Chain A
Amino acid sequence: MTIHNLYVFSKNGTLLFYEEWNRLNKSGMTKEEEAKLMYGMLFSIKSFVSKISPLDSKEGFLSYKTSKYTLHYFETSSGLKFVLNTDNVAQNVRELLQRLYSQVYIEYVVKNPLCQPNEPIQSELFKIKVDELMKKSPSFLCRSL
């Protein structure tokens, strides 16, 4: 089981944070371009899901699966978006993302007066804590050692 990479987007689509652990395929574009593409795709999926849904949805889009990876999506009511790519067997990723929000983002970004809202997160401590949380989770198991 592996965790590939993590994106955090603000409510207006700025890439706040990006980190990767096991990524074999480079998309062949810069990080900014890739983030825009990713955000655009998520934005479209969200509107696609709300239109095609046969019932009234609360949370809307949760995840999608391809042959090689699963993308998990978690959006807070304030519009903050967490996107985590894992392999197809990882479990309880939603819980992990909720923990990432409440125990890491809130503690080390929101409670840090030097972190401006809607701007990329520079804090080194946040980065370390994200890394710690991911490596502690049972889904994280480095294959490419």
Chain B
Amino acid sequence: MVIYGVYIVSKSGGLIFNHDHNVPKVEVEKPFNFPLDIKLSYENKKIVVSFGQRDGIHVGHVLSAVNGLPVTGKELDDGRDVLEMLEKSENFPITLKFSRSKMTTNEKIFLASMFYPLFAIASQLSPEPRCSGIEVLEADTFRLYCYQTLTGVKFMIVAEPSQPGMEILLKKVYELYADYALKNPFYSLEMPIRCELFETNLQSLLETVEKSGISNV
């Protein structure tokens, strides 16, 4: 039973709150010989695997460390270029660490505003009249639940596909939002939520749901 994260999107489509709950860390460290048997490419200021997935290294994973030294962009901390380094046989054997790239806050804001039109188009393309937007989006690794309040605020939960009772949890989160964010005199609408009480209460709510199910809330 895992809940991966909670997002709140305002009426105008901006991300006003996000909370990473239990995001699993995907990391693989392995020694390699010359020549390298996976294809790497440099895109979006990261070195990513573009072909040749094996042993837990997947296409899209980012090179995060070489011989234990962290990689930033395409350079090591001491200024050496990683791609050039990997072409020279004298640097081998070498230990490379790959990990799934973590979303930055900017990417999260970008994704939240991307969901907004998807939600609208889904209701426009509906074969039935008077249809809502996306309520549950299912993929093979997670399920995203979305609840839109009457005022247009969207609450989203990303959880494991088998996790039950998420619709009820969304309403509970709405309750917390109404109690701790909206009743906070220092909170202005449409702005990011920075209320300590809201965060601590949300955290404990998510933990109880994960441990003992939705029925005990």
Chain A interfacial positions (CB closer than 8 Å to B): 4-5, 20, 22-25, 27, 34, 37-38, 40-41, 44-45, 48-69, 71, 85, 87
Chain A interface, DSSP helix/strand/loop, else mixed: mixed
Count of chain B residues near A, Cβ 8 A? 40
Chain B interfacial positions (CB closer than 8 Å to A): 4-5, 23-24, 26, 58, 60-61, 100, 103, 107, 111, 114-115, 117-118, 121-142, 144, 158
Query: What chain B residues lie within 8 Å of A65 (beta carbons)?
Result: 134-138
Chain B interface, DSSP helix/strand/loop, else mixed: loop
Q: Which 5 A-B pairs have the closest CB atoms?
A: A4-B127, A67-B132, A68-B128, A68-B131, A25-B129
Q: Are A64 and B141 in contact (CB under 8 A)?
A: no
Neighbour of B131 across the interface among A22, A25, A40, A41, CB < 8 A: A25
Query: What chain B residues lie within 8 Å of A51 (beta carbons)?
Result: 103, 107, 111
Q: Are A24 and B128 in contact (CB under 8 A)?
A: yes
Query: What chain B residues lie within 8 Å of A40 (beta carbons)?
Result: 121
Supposing A4-B127, A22-B127 touch, asked if A66 and B134 sit within 8 A by C-beta, the answer is yes
Q: Are A48 and B111 in contact (CB under 8 A)?
A: yes
Q: Are A5 and B122 in contact (CB under 8 A)?
A: no
Q: Are B127 and A67 in contact (CB under 8 A)?
A: no
